[in-house]
Amino acid sequence: MAYSHGDMNEDAPQRENISDSSDQSLSQGPDGKQEGALYRENVQESNETDLAPAHNGFEKAVLETADPNFTVDPARGKKLIQKLDIRILPMIMWMYLMSFMDRVIIGAARLYGLEDDLNLQANEFQLAVSILFVTYCIFETPSNLIIKRLNPSYYLCALTFFWGIIATFTAFVQGLGGLLACRLLLGVFEAGFFPGVIIYLTIFYNKRELALRTGYFFSAAAISSAVGGLVAYGIGEGMDGTAGWRAWRWILLINGAATAVTAPFVPFILPGSLEKAKFLTDQDRRDLYALRNAEVGQTSSGQNLQKKDVMDGVKDWKTYAYGLAQFTSHLMLYSFSVFLPTVINRLGEFDQAQSNALTVPVFALGAIVYIINCWASDRLQVRGPFTMGAFVVAIIGYAMLISNGGVGVKFAGTFIVACGCYTSVGLGFAWLASNNPRYGKRAYASGMQITIGNSAGVAAPFLFAESTEPRFIPGYAASIGTLAVGICIHASLSYWFHRQNKNRAAGKEDWKMEGKTAEEVADMGDLNPLYRYTI
């Protein structure tokens, strides 16, 4: 598919301003024209005939035979995206629902005798919850760097099967040692799933579409917590003592088995790539490649894993800024998701069964608010203001929980925390992916972001130590403090992106294009002076 830079950027008026303002900062060429302006003209001319390196055989054929004037009708583009949505989103949401439930339902199982049966002492339950994240963090980034070298659908299938088996056999443990071993192994196989799906989505969707799709995917965490509460309530009340087993064993067994049974269906539903998607016609693929490559920074060669791109991610300070911000939101996510049944139970008004059941509306509201925010974020093409707003909302919720208010005030606080929790976590993933168009850099940066974020899972359980019951003031205070840090980091990122976009619009980075061909400029990724960051 051949195109000019005039067709690549989604903000045409902004491009015109760039060309006009670049004259103010660049030296003049021999004919009196500014070098930056001359280069922009040359980019447009050369891009009418130059082709980016092909990513695969089909795409190469598409690019070599494409009509240079070809564009995808917006209505058809929308239908194609919906076609992908119908095929991809339900399965990845179901898989993540099971993944998150297998990871955190131990919090519900705790209320049905797990600690007593395994003779857990002091903070040994918190240790069992947190130790999963040791292996989880170790294997996340390496997994992200190999997923595209394999068939992503088969890779995700294998991960799902093995963590499902491990989750199932956790029901048979007889002591702390067995529980810790199962949690460590669960972390190994779950580690590659979440960051892998974030990368998987970027194979099919552009950055304008990514936040909402990531939103649907991550909303499964809230749905999982809600469904997990219902499942735990149903099993706990209906199966306790069945076959001589306590209810907590049945809770873990049934959830794990459901995951393992899901795995064989994955490769038949999820396509490994656009080229391998049998539900698409050749024309569908041509149009989807055209839509993807129409973004500045999105080139066919950029969709390969290249060492230079990975190293660019390693050296980029923004990778670690995103990761630290993710740590602050994940500390809230894992402590809130695992210990909400305990928090509600310790309010003193509800028994164990009621406490599990009452988590359902809390998590359901969190999912609804998150999806609405993702839709609005994609609509407005901004991320930072939504994540910072979510941090503020969560802080308000924690302030209600830490207050001297009655049960009603504190229970209402859990709803407020949920409204901020999932938006602050989920939109952070979409924000980073939106601002890293080249696959290698995106894979490393996304993996590192999630690794740093999930390291919070090691500390999160200890925020709710038994010694701090029933008010958990240290945990709530720590959450408020870290969320304030998250606001500062995201505010700094937003300011930096705004300043970079402003400088590029003024032509102050046009010198980076000097001496480069149009193809080389297109392959600069987010360093391309024509590229605009999502704020």
How many whole angstroms separate alpha carbon 37 and alpha carbon 39?
5
Predicted confidence at residue 503, as pLDDT, reads: 94
Short-list 285, 103, 84, CA closest to 194: 103
Query: DSSP of 390-453, one letter per residue?
Result: HHHHHHHHHHHHHSS--HHHHHHHHHHHHHHHHHHHHHHHHHHHHT--SHHHHHHHHHHHHHHH
pLDDT range class, residue 55, cuts 50, 70, 90: very low
How many whole angstroms separate alpha carbon 106 and alpha carbon 393?
27
Predicted confidence at residue 215, as pLDDT, reads: 87
Q: At residue 166, does pLDDT exceed 80? A: yes
The stretch 298-317 carries a mean pLDDT of: 78
Predicted confidence at residue 298, as pLDDT, reads: 54
For the record, the structure tokens of 194 come out as 């979440």
Q: At residue 31, does pLDDT exceed 70? A: no
Which tens digits make up the pLDDT trace of 180-225?
999 999 999 999 999 899 889 988 888 788 878 988 998 898 888 8
CA-based max dimension of the chain: 90
| Average pLDDT over all residues of the chain | 83
Helix-strand-coil percent breakdown of the chain, rounded to 5?
A: 75, 0, 25
How many whole angstroms separate alpha carbon 277 and alpha carbon 290?
16
Global pTM reads 0.74
Chain mean position to CA 61: 32
User: Poorest-confidence range of 72-76, 298-302, 335-339, 425-429?
Assistant: 298-302
CATH architecture of the domain formed by 74-500: Up-down Bundle (1.20)
Predicted confidence at residue 349, as pLDDT, reads: 81
How many whole angstroms separate alpha carbon 256 and alpha carbon 109?
13
Predicted confidence at residue 72, as pLDDT, reads: 78
The stretch 227-233 carries a mean pLDDT of: 84
User: 83: how many CB neighbours lie within 10 A of its CB?
Assistant: 15
Q: At residue 125, does pLDDT exceed 70? A: yes
- Are 518 and 50 contacting, i.e. CB atoms less than 8 angstroms apart? yes
Give the residue extent of every domain in the chain. 74-500
Percent of the chain at pLDDT exceeding 70: 84
Q: Which residues contact 22 (CB under 8 A, 6 or more apart)?
A: 34, 36, 37, 40, 506, 507, 510
**What phi, psi does 34 have (nearest 5°)?**
-70, 145
User: Poorest-confidence range of 235-239, 252-256, 407-411?
Assistant: 235-239
Q: Give Rg (Cα) of the chain.
A: 25
Short-list 403, 413, 387, 386, CA closest to 330: 387
The stretch 496-511 carries a mean pLDDT of: 93
pLDDT range class, residue 303, cuts 50, 70, 90: low
Predicted confidence at residue 448, as pLDDT, reads: 92
Residue predicted with more confidence, 424 or 522? 424
Query: DSSP of 255-282, one letter per residue?
Result: HHHHHHHHGGGHHHHS-SSSTT-TTS-H
Q: At residue 52, does pLDDT exceed 60? A: no
Which tens digits make up the pLDDT trace of 84-95?
999 999 999 999
Predicted confidence at residue 318, as pLDDT, reads: 96
